[in-house]
Amino acid sequence: MAKDQMSESSNQRRGRLNRAKGKRKQAWVRRQLETWFQVELPFSLHKQQEESWTHLPWLLECKAGSQVGPIHTRYQNARAQAEAARSPDDHRPFVFVACPDQLADAYLIMRLTDLPDLFPNA
């Protein structure tokens, strides 16, 4: 079969593009954390999988795309509420805390780019 007849389906294309987007975002997260913690992954082969990022002090799983949409919506709504109540002289960074009913703990959700503002002396 000729190469032009072997084109990918729309589902295959969407999957390929979604994987590429996830890998781009995952690489960005790794680079940001490596800069923050001043470490570098010694072997470039392991840069694509968060499971091999043992040089970082956190165990990570990166998700991207529509599966994190509900988290983003809740974060944006909570941030808007907090910003509306913020006094003009309050310059603290925002962290979203989620406390689900089924959990005797809580989740802290923040923007990665706010990390230096949360820990300015680190």
What's the average model confidence in pLDDT over 25-54?
Answer: 84
User: Residue 122 above 70 pLDDT?
Assistant: no
* Residue for token pair 């001043």: 38
pLDDT at 111: 94
| 3-state DSSP of the chain | CCHHHCCCCHHHHHHHHHHHHHHHHHHHHHHHHHHHHCCCCCCHHHCCCHHHCCCCCCCCCCCCHHHHHHHHHHHHHHHHHHHHHCCCCCCCCCCEEECCCCCCCCEEECCHHHHHHHCCCC
User: Residue 3 above 60 pLDDT?
Assistant: no
Q: What percent of the chain has pLDDT over 90?
A: 52
Mean pLDDT over the full length of the chain: 88
pLDDT at 97: 95
User: Residue 12 above 90 pLDDT?
Assistant: yes
User: Residue 46 above 60 pLDDT?
Assistant: yes
Q: What confidence category does residue 5 fall into, taking pLDDT thresholds of 50, 70 and 90? A: low
Q: What confidence category does residue 120 fall into, taking pLDDT thresholds of 50, 70 and 90? A: confident
Indicate the domain borders of the chain: 1-62, 63-122
